[in-house]
Structure 1
Amino acid sequence: MSGIVEIAKKAGVSPATVSRALRGIHHVNEKTRKKIVDAARDLDYPVRPDLLPRGQNEKTNTIGVIAPFISRWYFSQSISGVEQALREAGLDLLLYNFAQVDARERVMMQKKLVDKVDGLIVISLPPSEKEFERLLSLGIPVSLLGVASELCSSVSIDDVLGGRIATQHLVDMGHRDIAIMTGQKEPAFDFRVANQRLQGFMEVLQANDLEFNPRNELYSDFTSTTSEIAMEEFLTRKKLPTAIFCESDEMAFGVFQALRKKGMRVPEDISIVGYDGHDFGVTLGLTTVAQPVRFLGQLAASQVMALIEKPESVVRQMVVPIELVQRQSVLKIN
């Protein structure tokens, strides 16, 4: 990444002058400031919109959304909520989608995002310290969706609480031997929700003096396909738990399919609780911890639009309520 020293060399000034110019301090000759800004842009260094020449700092009326795996229900619903809010406000959406770590770095560290969008929404990806520094240096509003943060605006749910709600329901229904399907041990992306929901699960077991069998922990990448495969292998065991908490509804769908192939019934043979509130869960009668995913997207869009309108607005961290939706996938046992 080009820095102050490289810009100073290109502009023929001192690093101190570059620092003052790019921070907007007035004691810099306008001709010199322009030379520095031009050098910074040539080197792909982010420049505050208010320092750009007239005509280059005009609004784009576009909000950028950075998200992985848009084919998955959670991400598509989040983006749909963002798009609805922007459309109603007469704004456009520019989507940055990727499924590989190297592509994430290219997008998150892109220097010219500020030229294309007036604000950014990052979905479910907790930025690294380096990424945070880059995003905040752009000088445009940033909101994190699905990740709580004190460094910028965010809209999220309490996933530890969600894990507790799901597990406590199973305990209340008489289950003592409970499995959990969680995220991969070494995921490509740092989705915090997997560990947070697992934490809530463990807290309830401990609070109820229930011992957890490590063999009851299954791993998946949150898709129904890998979840089905993991469950098929799990079902080869002689002794099975009476219930399983799946950290996403799509995981639960894979579990349903594996059980069907084996001729097993839900909830008679094994009870299932999911997480998310996926539309297809209604058809399967899946009990789930539901979160208002589209609404979360709308809130994130509203946050960014408010900060564009009033940059001095207070940065807000919003935590949205979740709820247990009881259907027919959990059997009450003695």
Structure 2
Amino acid sequence: MSFGRLVNEADTRLREWLDTSAQKPGTRLPSERALAVQLGIQHYALNRAMARLISEGRVEREGYKLTVAASTRIDAGLTCHLVIAQRSVHLPSYKRVAKEMGVKLVVHTWQSADEAALALDRLDSRDTEAVIFDPPYVAPVSLWEPIAARLLKHGIPVVGIGQSSAAIYSVNSDNLHDLEIAINHLLKLGHREIGFVTAPPTNPGAIEVLYGWEQICRRNQLNKSASRIYLQTNARLKEEAVEVADLLVNSWREITALIVFSGLDYNVQLLQEQLHQKGRRVPAELSLLFIGASKSPAHATIPVTSLTIDVALLQETAFNLAQRATRKKKNLGILPPPCSVLIQSQFIARNSTRPPAVLNDTSPEPKEDPSIASHTASRKLQPPAEIARALESCLRMAYPLAAKASLSERPRFAPIDLGTLVNRPLNFRRGWLGDLPLKQFPPGPHEIHGVPFNILGGPRRSDCGAIVFHSAVNTTGNSQKLPDTLIIPIKQKVRAVYILHGCGYAKFLHPFARYRFLNRKTCLGNVPLVSLGQPPPDYNPSQQTTDAVTPNIQDWWPDFPHMDFPGARMAPIMESEEAGHLPRHVYLYTLEWINPSPDKIVDSLEVSVDATLSTTLGVLAVTVLKP
């Protein structure tokens, strides 16, 4: 019998027992263990059922003391607002748990970190009873913490999932406990060389995981393992799995076990396939262990040993905290102080872990956990009006050559016609760079950075507005194969060429495409496109060495850090899908190439991409500046 059915059965029996035994208000009930024996059900299932009755106000708990409440269903009709990612795999579970607990759920979805913060901000209303906030894992707490603190001040409890703050009630997995269990399991098998894959330290939870890993490794004399960390920015991209597999056959070839810690729906099967192709067999040559909420470890070709949290329990606990807070507010007039609940994951040993081929008999016993500190990252959400003003200011900053040309009495700018080359629409799903459209960027003339660009497209799906190039995640457009290489005719003398473009699925300092400016077969200029992606915390572009790869474009999504680069500038676009929808700013980029031989004709612009990478290039417009 599934665990969900056990809990429902325990709930039914417990309610029937309360009804038939006619317990009076204030009567002390037997302990949960005694009740479980009396009713013939498992203690853990009865504990969950009792939590439902407590959340409804039918039973009250003080420490281990359980009593029948003076009145029942205090929280009947509670309306709880859920702020969650639009495509979260956990949304159906939230709805199911809310229905079981009698909570009316109002869902607000987000697609970026700023949208999540704005959605939370809009719930600062007298009509809001309680909020469950499932924030972006990559977002720093400082982005939404001031908003949550304001809601708390106004008597609105906010229960956070996966992140902690003094301004919210929170329910989290016990990350340090999970790390201890995972490392101890591998140590007992005899592993001494362990690698670690986890998320970048963009929030306190991720920082705690990294700091905890280092501390636990050093406490167990795993000094090499403490620094064997791969920071994974997008767990769904093939390149991420390829890079991890490459590490394991090169600089990490000594390791015998790998721990993957992911807060997202991690593709364990893809990692196993890449390891197999690189010759690292699981578990014969490499033990693999997963920590997180993904279901994929159990369904991989070789089922993976995992520490997996009970997502339904986490969600039910969040609703319980929201109900408790609103009940206390009704009874006492104020909210109780915020608190944090840690839920330990369930350890499931599967076929992916075994002793290494050569055991180290001198391995010390695992040492227990002392207290571990955490740190915070900083970022704040600006008001929408301030954001709009800043964006407009960025778009008005002209390139010096373009500003000078605009003062000329004769027109020196000439748009290049891309009408026969565009292959994807902008305003539709599966248009632009993949899954999400580029909204509210109408066709026609647009002046960006002092350069006039002509944007194509239209209201119909067949009205294409961008040239999108082949990549590992984008293969077709307009029912045709996307190009790996394309020649854009120019056929005139130019002082400079300006390109309006964007990219998606960006990786840190990855060269993924190239622009070549040709005079017949002679190359007048060669510009590699290098994405910034998600840089590590210590990255400082001003301190790069001269031989380092220099970025000149960034992912179009707002959750990535955006800035101007040498010869390239960000072009933020404010978009909103419909009236009442949260505003969202996305980022295109312009690139300026100055012709070193303006007396020579530039016959064409050759665009080539590395189609084996996920990073996808989209070109919207090309404008030349005549001499």
Change (3 A) 1:182 1:251: farther
Pairs within 5 Å for 1:81-160? 81-110=93-122, 112-114=123-125, 117-124=128-135, 127-128=141-142, 129-160=145-176
What is the rounded CA distance, in whole Å, between the counterparts of 1:135 and 1:309 in structure 2? 17
Task: Return the offset for 1:237.
Answer: 1.3
Task: Return the offset for 1:99.
Answer: 3.4
Task: Return the offset for 1:304.
Answer: 0.9
Q: Deviations along 1:184-227, whole A, 9 cap, x unmatched?
A: 36x5xx3x333322333222321221222577321213523254
Task: Return the offset for 1:150.
Answer: 4.4
Which position in structure 2 is the counterpart of 1:13? none
Which position in structure 1 is the counterpart of 2:425? none
Q: Which has the higher contact order (CA 8 A, sep 6+)?
A: 1
Quick check: 1:221 aligned with 2:233?
A: yes
Which position in structure 1 is the counterpart of 2:244? 231
Change (3 A) 1:222 1:283: same
What is the rounded CA distance, in whole Å, between the counterparts of 1:272 and 1:136 in structure 2? 42
Greater fraction helix: 1
Which position in structure 1 is the counterpart of 2:328? 310
What is the rounded CA distance, in whole Å, between the counterparts of 2:104 and 2:114 in structure 1? 26
What is the rounded CA distance, in whole Å, between the counterparts of 2:154 and 2:243 in structure 1? 42
What is the rounded CA distance, in whole Å, between the counterparts of 1:69 and 1:212 in structure 2? 40
Greater fraction strand: 2
Which position in structure 1 is the counterpart of 2:192? 176
Q: Is the 8 A contact 1:162 1:197 kept in 2?
A: no
Structure 2: gaps spanning 5 or more residues: 1-75, 360-627
The residue identity in structure 1 corresponding to 2:260 is: C
SS state at 1:224 partner: coil
Q: Is the 8 A contact 1:220 1:251 kept in 2?
A: no
Change (3 A) 1:318 1:239: closer
Which position in structure 1 is the counterpart of 2:362? none
Change (3 A) 1:232 1:99: farther
Q: Deviations along 1:312-334, whole A, 9 cap, x unmatched?
A: 46444322222321111112121
Structure 1: gaps spanning 5 or more residues: 1-58
Task: Return the offset for 1:305.
Answer: 2.0
Which TM-score applies when normalising by structure 2?
0.39
Q: Deviations along 1:215-243, whole A, 9 cap, x unmatched?
A: 73212135232541432442451651211
Quick check: 1:319 aligned with 2:335?
A: no
Task: Return the offset for 1:262.
Answer: 2.7
What is the rounded CA distance, in whole Å, between the counterparts of 1:144 and 1:100 in structure 2? 17
Change (3 A) 1:283 1:160: same
Q: Deviations along 1:144-178, whole A, 9 cap, x unmatched?
A: 22234444322223212212221221122111111
Q: Is the 8 A contact 1:228 1:258 kept in 2?
A: yes
Which position in structure 2 is the counterpart of 1:66? 83
Choose 1 or 2 for highest CA Rg. 2
Instruction: Please point out which of 258, 269, 272 is paired with 1:244.
Output: 258
Alignment size in residue pairs: 266
Change (3 A) 1:83 1:276: same
What is the rounded CA distance, in whole Å, between the counterparts of 1:98 and 1:221 in structure 2? 19
Which position in structure 2 is the counterpart of 1:298? 316
Task: Return the offset for 1:61.
Answer: 4.7
Q: Is the 8 A contact 1:81 1:295 kept in 2?
A: no
Which TM-score applies when normalising by structure 1?
0.69
Q: Is the 8 A contact 1:66 1:95 kept in 2?
A: yes
What is the rounded CA distance, in whole Å, between the counterparts of 1:193 and 1:224 in structure 2? 20
What is the rounded CA distance, in whole Å, between the counterparts of 2:97 and 2:325 in structure 1? 15
Task: Return the offset for 1:256.
Answer: 1.5
Task: Return the offset for 1:124.
Answer: 4.8
Q: Is the 8 A contact 2:159 2:171 kept in 1?
A: yes
Quick check: 1:194 aligned with 2:206?
A: yes
State the 4+ residue runs in structure 1 displaced beyond 3 angstroms: 68-71, 79-82, 124-127, 148-152, 251-254, 312-316
Task: Return the offset for 1:268.
Answer: 0.9
Change (3 A) 1:247 1:238: closer
Q: Is the 8 A contact 1:160 1:198 kept in 2?
A: no
Segment of structure 1 superposing worse, 297-306 or 230-239: 230-239
SS state at 1:327 partner: coil
What is the rounded CA distance, in whole Å, between the counterparts of 2:161 and 2:93 in structure 1? 11
Which position in structure 2 is the counterpart of 1:257? 273
What is the rounded CA distance, in whole Å, between the counterparts of 2:252 and 2:163 in structure 1? 37
SS state at 2:266 partner: helix
What is the rounded CA distance, in whole Å, between the counterparts of 1:116 and 1:236 in structure 2? 57
Change (3 A) 1:127 1:108: farther
Q: Is the 8 A contact 2:190 2:355 kept in 1?
A: yes
Q: Is the 8 A contact 1:266 1:272 kept in 2?
A: yes
Which position in structure 2 is the counterpart of 1:328? 351
